[in-house]
Amino acid sequence: MAVTSFQDLPLADRDRQWDGDAAEKRVREWAGAEDEPNEKYRDAHVWYDADNKDNFTAYKLLVADVVDGRLHAVPRGVMAAGNVMAGGRGGVDLPSKDVDRVKSHLAKYYAKMGDEAPWDRD
């Protein structure tokens, strides 16, 4: 189990719509990962199961999309992942030892957006 390294991706426009399924397809194509995941594909996610890294289902919390040929963190994707980590949408099944690191990763994008992570709000 592994939390991906923070990539400090550029932010897409805040009003950009988030469609995780469409983003997933664009990221696969951009990364050249149509047949199996690779490092570029991994960078678009916050967490993956390192023991199954050759399986697309091992990757969770997609926060990026391809914008103008480059990988960007999409604010609405970050917020969707943040809501999941805050317990919304049924949460996500991650090892408890990874939860704080995932939240830390996401909090860096919230800070970059000028926002506070949902678990830090009063």
Q: What is the pTM of this model?
A: 0.92
Kindly state the percentage of the chain with pLDDT values over 70.
Answer: 96
Q: Can you name the residues that pair with 34 across neighbouring β-strands?
A: none
Query: What gap in Å lies between CA 55 and CA 48, rounded to an integer?
Result: 10
State the helix-helix crossing angle for 20-31 and 75-85, rounded to 10 degrees.
110
> Is the pLDDT score of 87 beyond 90?
no
76-86, pLDDT tens digit by residue? Answer: 999 999 999 98
Number of domains within the chain: 1
Ramachandran assignment for 87, one of left (phi > 0), alpha (psi -120 to 50 degrees), beta (any other): left
DSSP 77-113: HHHHHHHHHTTGGG-----HHHHHHHHHHHHHHHHHH
Q: Which domain holds residue 7?
A: 2-120
Q: What is the pLDDT of residue 92?
A: 81
